[in-house]
Amino acid sequence: MNWNSSILELAGKRKPAKSLSKLFESGITTLQDLLWIFPLRMQRAPSLTDFSKLKTNQIFLGQGEVISLKFTPAFGKKGKNRVQLFNATCVVKDLHSKTYLNLKWFNTYPNLKTQLSVNQNFTFMGSVSEFNGACQIVNPKINPNLLPADSLLIEYPTLHSISGVHIKNIIDKIPSHVWDSTLIMNHFGMSFNPSDLALNESFKILHGKGKLNKDSLQLARNRLIYQEFFDNQLQILARKLKHKKLTAPLLKIGNQTLSKMMELFPYELTDDQAKVVKHIRSDLKSGVPMMRMVQGDVGCGKTTVALIASLIAIKNNSQVALMCPTEALAIQHAETFIKLLGESVNISLLVGGTKAKDKKNIYERLRQGEIDLIIGTHALIQKNIVFKNLNLAIIDEQHKFGVEQRQKLFKKGDGVHVLIMTATPIPRTLQLTQYGDLDISTIRVMPSGRKGVKTRIVTAKTYEKYLSFVKTRMSLGEQIYIVVPAIEESESLDLKNVNTLMHTYQTYFPEYTIVALHGQLKSSEKQNIMERFSNGNIDLLISTTVIEVGINVLNSSVISIYNPDRFGLSSLHQLRGRVGRGEKTGFCFLITEDNISQDSMKRIKVIENSNDGFEIAQADLQNRGQGDLFGSSQAGHASNYKIANILDDFEVFEKVTQDIEKLKIEQTEKLNNLLLELVEDTKVSTTI
């Protein structure tokens, strides 16, 4: 048995346990895979201690007297028979002081009643947590077998619904001779060791199998953090190499043709926009599929760049698809493009609300190549959409789509050039680790003539003053957005929030037209409301975050966001970008509740004090973590690291990048051979 052996071999000649089989089915197939399941906590077996020594996230061994017991029925299944279970709460008093502690059990069996009674003394052990400012222990062991003082208590996480206890039992079955054997991660056969520890020794320490002290733990962690970052960077290099082996049509235009394109716009491009157009032209004529992300703050002019890229493709007899996350944004883009291009380009719009007859016509025209540019939502990735010659795919607000959704669009052509756009700037740390295989262009300079946005936090004390300001702006003919946080998986509660505010504002401003936009409206109704707002027929629009992306109504000057602490900073910045897009100054109000925590207030003050999307994105990354910045549902953005964290371990990451640069110079051939080997690995795919 070795590190590449199947975990099922741990069962020997017996049938593998259910937990072992379930781990195997979930993708943890080798002993090496098991190594990356790290303990939640590890500590020396505690000695009997009084309650004053309680520390959260530590395992505690105590003895006390039962003061009160409460059992609440719960129900669960065991086998074919339904067994009555209990939730239990026990208040325990320290035998040596007047200190009390809550012990709680969830879904416990009836025999707990027979083990405990009021006025009884007993011993218990478990992990200390905090609830409502007080310490508690959930599901403690009663009268546990005491371990020798030098023993380790190791607690593993629940994984794929397999308890930590079962995980520990499986890892403990790895034979000692395997733990002592040399370990080479994946098949690279190389690494730059930042410590004196071998890989197998590092894993032994972190699983409690080796020499354990504060220094050895840190050395072991750094060794494995280095390995994760090293593997990540090689994967990125391999993806780039794999991509360069692909071919794509050459889409070229001359400088004279480009100059004529520029005449379509009633404004001059900023220096940043011109630079990005230069990058795109170079990509499109390279013969390799473009894989470029254009990032820039809200309103910086990314749409103009996308339009120029589209025209270059169309001039080369290619079709272009522009996919947007919402119907409102798709409709807005279509209106903008048609207004600028007129009848010189065949443009069609395809959204969920498109009539069946019109959809059928669009499908046929796409197939025949009669449509140059199709703008739409997820409707573009349906199976019955067939292009004659799709050579450029553009994704707007790419973080609103999952990886699979994006790839479905790219696969509708052969060697499709890809341009993805985001108004959520990517912090440098994520650029290096999660988007390192993309070419990234940045637009920082805003178009001239924009007044920008002033942001203020509104509390109960300033709420009346805020309402007076809103009324003043409406009296000047300006329009207002009111945003309430969406409540996941509950459109009815979203509707309640929207309707409650609707009633409030109608009471305050009965003379103005106030309309609500929410998830329970039909697509056609939403579209009608947005058209009325765009045409100036609605004074105040109350909505959930459906307006976050791309809505452009220049007459709207105020956006008020309720419960801003429920939003990420990047989302707040996106929402704020709906106003101040023209010659009128925009105003953003963050309306808070009285009981907002100090941490939440500190967080939203970042929005009040800064208009720099890059600075805000970095703060959001630090607050929410690398896996949550774009939303946990967006596959391809969550962190895949088991132990490394790009924020906490950036020094180790920089050491990795330096070492890989050395490799490129000193061991070029060996590195290239490793990358070629990785390219053949089916697991290596593109980020986008």
Reported as half-sphere exposure (CB side, CA atoms, 13 A), residue 258 has a value of 15
Question: Is there a single domain that holds both residue 603 and residue 668?
Answer: no
Q: Is residue 145 part of a domain?
A: yes
Is the same domain home to 685 and 571? no
3-state class of 664 per DSSP?
helix
Ramachandran region, residue 180 (left: φ > 0; alpha: ψ -120 to 50; beta: rest): alpha
CB 419 within 8 A of CB 290: yes
Q: Domain range holding 410?
A: 266-443
pLDDT value of residue 242: 84
362, 388 contact by CB (below 8 A):
no
**Amino acid found at 415:** G
**DSSP-based three-state secondary structure for 481:** strand
Which residue among 394, 415, 443 closes a domain?
443
Same domain, 463 and 604: yes
Low-confidence ranges of the chain (pLDDT < 70): 75-83, 149, 184-196, 398-400, 402, 427-429, 449-450, 486-496, 546-551, 623-639, 681-688
Is the Cα dihedral 664, 666, 669, 670 positive or negative? Answer: negative
CATH of the domain at 553: 3.40.50.300
Q: How far apart are CA 510 and CA 504, in angstroms?
A: 10
- Say which CATH number the domain at 110 has: 2.40.50.140
Q: Which helix (H) or strand (E) holds 491?
A: helix 491-508
What strands lie across the sheet with 291-296, from one edge to the other? 347-350, 373-376, 319-323, 390-396, 417-422, 291-296, 439-443
Q: Are residues 380 and 328 in the same domain?
A: yes
The pLDDT tens digits of the residues spanning 250-273 come to: 999 999 999 999 988 888 899 999
Asked whether residue 203 falls in the same domain as residue 227, the answer is yes
Q: Is residue 391 part of a domain?
A: yes
The CA distance from 543 to 563, in Å, is 13
How does DSSP classify residue 265?
S
Give the residue carrying structure tokens 């459906």: 546
Paired with 65 in beta bridges are 93, 121
For residue 618, tell me if it sits in a domain: no
Same-domain check for residues 50 and 36: no
Q: Which residue has the tokens 């607000």?
A: 397
Is residue 256 included in any domain, yes or no? no
* pLDDT at residue 29, as a whole number: 93
Domain C-terminal end among 388, 411, 443: 443
Specify the pLDDT at position 188: 46
Q: Is 16 left (phi over 0), alpha (psi -120 to 50) or beta?
A: beta
The residue from 387, 408, 443 where one domain ends is: 443
Per-residue pLDDT tens over the stretch 285-297: 999 999 999 988 7
Calpha distance 135→129 (Å, rounded): 6
Tell me whether residue 615 is in a domain: no
Given CA atoms 357, 363, 366, 368 in this order, what sign does their dihedral have? Answer: negative
Contact indicator for 662, 190 with CB cutoff of 8 Å: no
Residue keyed to tokens 């939203």: 604
Query: Are the C-beta atoms of residues 543 and 533 closer than 8 Å to each other?
Result: no
In this prediction, residue 489 carries a pLDDT of: 45
The reply to whether 255 falls in a domain is no
From the CB of residue 52, how many other CB atoms can be counted at a distance below 10 Å? 9
- The string of DSSP codes covering 330-395 is HHHHHHHHHHHHTTSS-EEEE-TTS-HHHHHHHHHHHHHT--SEEEESGGGGSTT---SSEEEEEE
Residue 632 to residue 191: CA distance in whole angstroms: 32
Task: Say what the pLDDT of residue 186 is.
Answer: 47
Check whether residue 203 and residue 278 sit in a common domain. Answer: no
Say yes or no: 285 and 413 in one domain: yes
Same domain, yes or no, for 488 and 601?
A: yes
Check whether residue 596 and residue 682 sit in a common domain: no
Do 547 and 438 share a structural domain? no
541 and 494 belong to one structural domain: yes
The structural domain count of the chain equals 5
676 occurs within a structural domain? yes
Are the C-beta atoms of residues 247 and 288 closer than 8 Å to each other?
Answer: yes
* Count of other CB atoms within 10 angstroms of residue 367: 14
Q: Tell me if 144 is assigned to some domain.
A: yes
- Going by C-alpha positions, the residue among 311, 225, 228, 222 that lies closest to residue 265 is 311
Distance CA 439, CA 294 (A): 9
Which candidate, 579, 478, 552, places its Cα nearest to that of 326? 552
